[in-house]
Amino acid sequence: MSASDRDRVLAAAAVSRETAAALDLYVAQLARWQTVKNLVGPSTLPEVWTRHIADSLQLLDAAPGATRWLDLGSGAGIPGLILAIAGREARPQMQVDLVESNARKGAFLQETARLTGASARIHVSRIESVIGRFTGVEVVCARALAPLPQLLAWTAPLLKSGTIGLFPKGREAQSELTAARETWTFEADVIPSRTDSSAGIVRISSLSGQLP
């Protein structure tokens, strides 16, 4: 891990010392669990501040003021737990639900949420089993989980009720949008990623129905 990456990311996020300490704790937990549980791609760990933390934090600006978040397929808490740790400083009502089916990742999320004091609720479950339980969600997000048509199939009831979808994507963003439009009607824009010039955040709103 590069100390300068850390300092740059924290300065850009303009977080307090308390939030910085909680993010440091998250990074320490990730490094500790990674040695035995392999939570993230090993090659990404040295770049954790840019590849995971900054990549997650940029979602906050894609949904200004939103405080009720749902993160699907959270893995090691990316982006959901990072948003729960850092988002509450500017948004005291911040509450993030995280859905992750893998038990060892779920255990990491439970322990790290507790240690960091994050306002996160962890659901160690399959998305299909729990997605119908969530109400009042302002933003649903998912990184590196599934192609856009599958994400929309899972989240359609929320997106039809006014929830915004934020889905970080790589070069495949446009082709996945085209594929999704074969089935769904929605408004979308692609916000350029601040951490990867070839990537973007697909923002979906106003999903209005499944075409016949």
Ligand X SMILES: C[S@@+](CC[C@H](N)C(=O)[O-])C[C@H]1O[C@@H](n2cnc3c(N)ncnc32)[C@H](O)[C@@H]1O
What residues numbered 178-207 form the site for ligand X, per CB under 6 A? none
Q: Which of 1, 21, 28, 144 binds ligand X (CB under 6 A)?
A: 144
Does 73 engage in binding with ligand X (CB under 6 A)?
yes
At 152, which amino acid appears?
A: L
SS3 185: strand
**According to CB under 6 A, which residues from 81 to 120 bind ligand X?**
99-102, 105
Cα dihedral 85→124→70→1 (10° resolution):
40
Shortest approach of ligand X to residue 16 CB, angstroms?
Answer: 25
User: Between β-strands 200-210 and 184-192, what pairing exists: parallel, antiparallel or unpaired?
Assistant: antiparallel
Q: Which stretch binds ligand X (CB under 6 A): 22-30, 61-69, 87-95, 125-133?
A: 125-133
Judge whether 200 and 169 are in contact, CB under 8 Å: yes
**Residue 73 annotated as binding?**
yes
Query: Closest separation between CB of residue 168 and ligand X, Å?
Result: 8
- Closest CB to ligand X among 4 and 43? 43
Task: Report residue 120: phi and psi, to 5°.
Answer: -130, 145
DSSP state of 163: P
Residues comprising the binding site? Answer: 73, 127-128, 143
